[in-house]
Amino acid sequence: MSLLSTLTGAVIGITATLIADRNRWRREEGRHALEVRREVYTEFVSALKEAGEEMRAVALGDHRSESARDAAVREAVRGTGLYTASERLWLVGPPQVVAASNEAFHRMRAIRDAYARGTAVGSAEEASLVGMRRSAMAQMRRLMREDLGFGPLGIE
C-alpha cells in the first residue's frame, strides 16, 4: 500500500510539473509571438512612411523625362525595404491586419503611380490620394494596436 501511494504521488507530481511547464512554455511562446508582431508592424509602418517621404522628395525634384521620373519614384520606394517588410507582415499578421496593411500599401502605390505620371505635389489629385492613404493607415494602425493589446489612441 505504501509503494502504491508513493507511485501515485510521484505520477501526480510529475503530471503537475509537466502541465505547469507546458503552460509556462505557451505563455512564453505567446509573448514571443506578440513581440515578433510588434517588430514587424513597426518595420512595416516605418517603411511605408519612409516610402511616402522618399517619393514626395523625388516628385518635388526636376526630371529630364517622364521615364526618368518614373524610374526615380519607383527606386525611391524600392530603397525603403517596404516590400520585404510587407512580406514579413503577411507571414505573421492576423488576417484583418494583413488586409488593412495591404490596403495602405496599395494606397501608397497609387500615390507612387501618380507621382510617376507627373502629378504635382500640392495638387488636388495628390491631396485626394494622400487623404485615402491616411485613412487606410489609420485603420491599419487601429487594428495593429488592437492585435497588440493596446487601446485606441483617439487622435487619428
d(CA 8, CA 31): 35
d(CA 71, CA 81): 17
pLDDT in tens, 91-121: 999 999 999 999 999 999 999 999 999 999 9
pLDDT in tens, 15-61: 877 787 777 778 787 788 999 999 999 999 999 999 999 999 999 88
* pTM for this model (two decimals): 0.80
- pLDDT of 156 above 70: no
Q: Which of 73, 40, 52, 26 is nearest to 137 (CA)?
A: 52
CA distances to 4, 22, 106 from 141, rounded to whole Å, are: 59, 33, 15
